[in-house]
Amino acid sequence: MGIDVGGAAVGAAFNELFTAVRGVVQTIKAFGVQLKKIENTLGRIEPIIRDWDEFNNRLDRNPKEMRPIKELLNKGKGLVQKCSSIHRFNMRKKYTHSKKLKAFNAELLGDFNLYIDLLDARNNGETLYEVREMRTEFDRLISSRKANSVVLQSGFGASGNLAVPDAPDFVVGSVVEASLRKLREQLLEEGVSVIVVTAPGGCGKTTLLKKLCHDIDIEGKFNIMFVPVSKKPTLTDIVRKMIQHNGLDVPEIVTEDDAVRCLQQLLIIIGENPVLLVLDDVWTDSQSIFEKFVFKKIKHYKIVVTSRYEFPNVDLVHHLNPLPHEEALELFRRSVTVDGRRLVAPDDELWDKIVKRCKGLPLALTVVAKSLRGKDRSFWETKLLNLSHLGLDSDILDCLRKSLDDLDGNTSIKERFMDLGSFPEDRKIPATALIDMWVELYRQDFDGTLAINDLHELFYRNLADLVITRRDSNEDEDKCYSSHYATQHDLLRELAIMECNQGDVENRKRLIVDLTTNNFPDWWSKQKQPTLSARLVSISTDGRFSPPWPDLQLPEAEALVLNFETNQTKTYALPDFIEKADKLKALIVTNYSFFPAELRNFHMVGSSLRRIRLERVMVSFQSMGKLRLHSLQRMSFFMCEIGQASTSNGTKISDAMPNLMELDIDYCNDLVTLPDGICEIKSLKKLSITNCHNFSTLPEQLGQSTSLEVVRLNSCTNLLQLPISIGTLQKLISLNISDCLSLSTLPSQIGQLNNLNRINMRGCLKLSMLPRSIVRLRNLKKVICDKETEVLWEPLKYSLNSLNIMVPEEEANLDWLCD
């Protein structure tokens, strides 16, 4: 990106700064957060500078008027270029320079707007109006897009991302506005250190804090960290994330005392600007942990806590009140409509009665409203009879249960809703994990299309939120859902678990067990465990759990979800009873700790498994060569350490999993090349190796994978070339090499891919020419690229009929790195 302002000095300075930012942000990750913010700011300023220059030329203005802007841009260029001279282990210089970049971004915004205001004061007519309109739009866009503070290090992705989540576009009412004003005043007041915002579940506490943190006065003053706490917080992990969020190397933290010392040091280091720490959803059992975050001697450090409970030792407690009737009615009306159209029109009395039963609680209002969409009057009347009066959480759950009962006519959606309870609270649930579960439990299509449709239905009914963190132009065709997540309000998760726990444990369709240390439920601790009929089993353990596992009889289990946090040994042992679960089809193992954990007992997995998904664990490919997973069709690794790629000890991956159809490896930074034998799996249709920044070589044996239809290599920044043998992949339909920064050429054999339909090469910065054989790709219909590489494809439009060249706008949203 850049602008051409006819050689004007300010335009040249702008282009030089923009080029410097884009060059450094690709190579020096330590300053990526601040540089991305500057890049976003420049992107918004660009059209205004261009139009302003044209305006000045038309009116013959003096070029010296823009000298202050030019000097500011040159100052920024010097700061950006200095990034490359700072050693990556010099934490203090890195931190200090990050602050300078942040200050420059703020100065750029402030001075630019001020200077434009001074120039606008003497403009008139239509041109004046257009410039002001552009500036207003610029300010709106800047304030609505908040760059997340993310630092990628050590292969842990964005586990340290504590940026403030986006607030909803629409929030009803005077109650929220009054609360925002009161909390804003208290935070800006000297001497205030801790504020507790309390209300029953479903009242909108978290929404209120999101809005507050995006307030221009609060966001402009504080360095904000937004920490979801929930029922079982781990102080050490929270502190690690806070340190990483601020761009510092994470030290070894073993005990809570270590964590407190590191937290205090962090606050001192970043204390140049006031710090605001939001602890969201603190339970009464976590009060001791919450108290460890309080350091009253550190100036300009504030804490806001949201909780369903009051803390007697906190002076400032803000009670969030329910919505008054008129505002509750407005929220209900908005929630029951689609695209501004009311699907039914009952009389005002019926509206009023149903809204009053919801007692002004936003969660109850939205869930009940969406359950009534498209229903006739008799259904509304039945709903009114079934709804109970609300007040406490249990009453809200009763209300929500009544709405869930309305799904009895749509059994599949109610089943999917209850399945979401298998995952921990306040965590994004990967759509790929849900697909693996639902395909096997409900015999859905292999690629997960029906599962995504079900997820959209849950979102439509307000029973879950669907979050798409990054959209790729190829993903719909490739059935790639790695950027899709589900989230769920705590109360809805509680409701799902309550529904799952109905009846005797032996007869439940779902078994959800949440273990604290080794406190097993009574029925599991007995000498002779019952034989369970559950088809879906979810077991969660905390960092204090230690083997051995008691035995468990799971003869009907088809999906097993294991959620865990590691202890100090950073190990996790799969339970032995997995080996006896003969019907088990899907295994999902997720480590929610900060560091990867060594996965033990992996040899216990049974031959009946069709799908395995592992997240943040260490398990070597070499050990997998010894397994016999002859039914396995899909294998996924996310943020894992998969160890040695070679299995030269005589075992082969192709022998271990001969029927594998999909292999998905994402954010596995120790992967350098594919293991021996992967390319010998004749059934492999989709190979996805993405965001693996040390992956440099695709083996020449890739050409043996003759069934491959989709190959994704996006964001493998160290990949140097594609193998010559790629030309033998006659079934290949889609190739994604986007953001492969080191890829400078394509093999001439690529022209032999007779069925290639689409290629994504966006962000291939070193790719300056295409092989001549490209003209042979007669079935190529879609190319996704940048403006810089679009010129390489334009001449081919004449020889490749119906070729669609897409140049999407740059992705400025970093939400895809969250959680």
> Are residues 298 and 208 located together in one domain of the fold?
yes
Report the CATH number that the domain containing residue 276 is assigned in CATH.
3.40.50.300
Give the pLDDT confidence of 315-364 residue by residue, as tens digits: 788 888 788 888 888 888 888 876 555 555 577 788 888 888 787 788 88
Query: At which of 266, 294, 319 does a domain end?
Result: 319
307 in a structural domain: yes
Residue 126 is predicted with a pLDDT of 41
> Are residues 134 and 223 located together in one domain of the fold?
no
393 backbone φψ class: left, alpha, beta (φ>0; ψ -120 to 50): alpha
> Are residues 138 and 183 located together in one domain of the fold?
no
Is the pLDDT higher at 130 or at 374?
Answer: 374
Is the pLDDT higher at 112 or at 453?
Answer: 453
Encoded tokens for 737 = 């090499």
Instruction: Report the alpha-carbon distance of residue 415 to residue 377 in Å, rounded.
Output: 27
Distance of CA 540 to the CA centre of its chain: 21
Encoded tokens for 509 = 């369709």
Encoded tokens for 455 = 């997820």
Strand (E) positions, 308-402?
Answer: 316-319, 337-338, 341-342
> Are residues 120 and 220 located together in one domain of the fold?
no
DSSP β-ladder status, 734-736 and 662-666:
unpaired
Q: Find the domain containing 30 and state its range.
A: 9-144
Q: At residue 32, does pLDDT exceed 90?
A: no
Q: At residue 2, does pLDDT exceed 50?
A: no
**511: number of Cβ within 10 Å:** 23
Report the pLDDT averaged over residues 756-771: 91
531 in a structural domain: no
Length of the chain: 819
Give the pLDDT confidence of 560-616 residue by residue, as tens digits: 999 998 876 788 999 999 988 999 999 999 998 888 899 988 888 888 999 999 999
683 in a structural domain: no
764 in a structural domain: no
Among 464-468, 513-517, 546-550, whose mean pLDDT is lowest? 464-468
> Are residues 67 and 107 located together in one domain of the fold?
yes
Kindly report whether the global pTM for this prediction surpasses the value 0.75.
Answer: no
> Are residues 196 and 104 located together in one domain of the fold?
no
3-state class of 306 per DSSP? strand
606 closest CA partner among 547, 558, 541, 678: 558
Give the pLDDT confidence of 72-128 residue by residue, as tens digits: 888 888 888 888 777 766 667 777 787 888 888 877 777 666 555 544 443 443 444
3-state class of 201 per DSSP? coil
Residue 131 is predicted with a pLDDT of 37
Is-contact 543 234, C-beta < 8 A?
yes
pLDDT band at residue 399 under the 50/70/90 scheme: low
244 in a structural domain: yes
Residue 156 is predicted with a pLDDT of 32
611 in a structural domain: no
Report the pLDDT averaged over residues 46-57: 62
Q: At residue 674, does pLDDT exceed 90?
A: no
Q: At residue 732, does pLDDT exceed 70?
A: yes
> Are residues 113 and 198 located together in one domain of the fold?
no
Give the pLDDT confidence of 640-668 residue by residue, as tens digits: 998 754 445 566 788 889 999 999 999 99
Encoded tokens for 573 = 């042992």
Distance of CA 389 to the CA centre of its chain: 37
Instruction: Report the alpha-carbon distance of residue 799 to residue 776 in Å, rounded.
Output: 9
Q: Residue 486 to residues 446, 451, 513, 693: CA-CA distances in angstroms?
A: 20, 12, 21, 27
Report the pLDDT averaged over residues 48-71: 62
| Structural domain total, the chain | 2
Which amino acid, 386? N
Give the pLDDT confidence of 798-814 residue by residue, as tens digits: 788 788 999 887 554 44
Residue 130 is predicted with a pLDDT of 43
Which sign, positive or negative, has the C-alpha torsion 301, 306, 307, 313? positive
Longest dimension (CA), the chain: 93
> Are residues 291 and 180 located together in one domain of the fold?
yes
DSSP β-ladder status, 782-784 and 484-487:
unpaired
Query: At which of 301, 319, 337 does a domain end?
Result: 319
Residue 539 is predicted with a pLDDT of 95
Instruction: Report the alpha-carbon distance of residue 541 to residue 783 in Å, rounded.
Output: 46
Report the pLDDT averaged over residues 369-387: 75
Q: At residue 234, does pLDDT exceed 90?
A: no
> Are residues 246 and 117 located together in one domain of the fold?
no
620 in a structural domain: no
Residue 61 is predicted with a pLDDT of 54
Contacting residues for 539 by C-beta, under 8 A, at least 6 apart: 513, 515, 560, 561, 562, 563, 575
> Are residues 214 and 276 located together in one domain of the fold?
yes
Is the pLDDT higher at 127 or at 221?
Answer: 221
> Are residues 179 and 139 located together in one domain of the fold?
no
> Are residues 182 and 240 located together in one domain of the fold?
yes
Q: Tell me which long-range contacts 523-528 makes (C-beta under 8 A, separation of at least 24).
A: 524/550, 524/552, 525/550
Give the pLDDT confidence of 693-710 residue by residue, as tens digits: 899 989 899 999 999 999
Is the pLDDT higher at 341 or at 385?
Answer: 385
pLDDT band at residue 406 under the 50/70/90 scheme: low
Is the pLDDT higher at 777 or at 13?
Answer: 777
Is-contact 130 51, C-beta < 8 A?
yes
79 in a structural domain: yes
Query: At which of 319, 350, 378 does a domain end?
Result: 319
User: What is the rounded end-to-end Cα distance, in angstroms, of the chain?
Assistant: 30
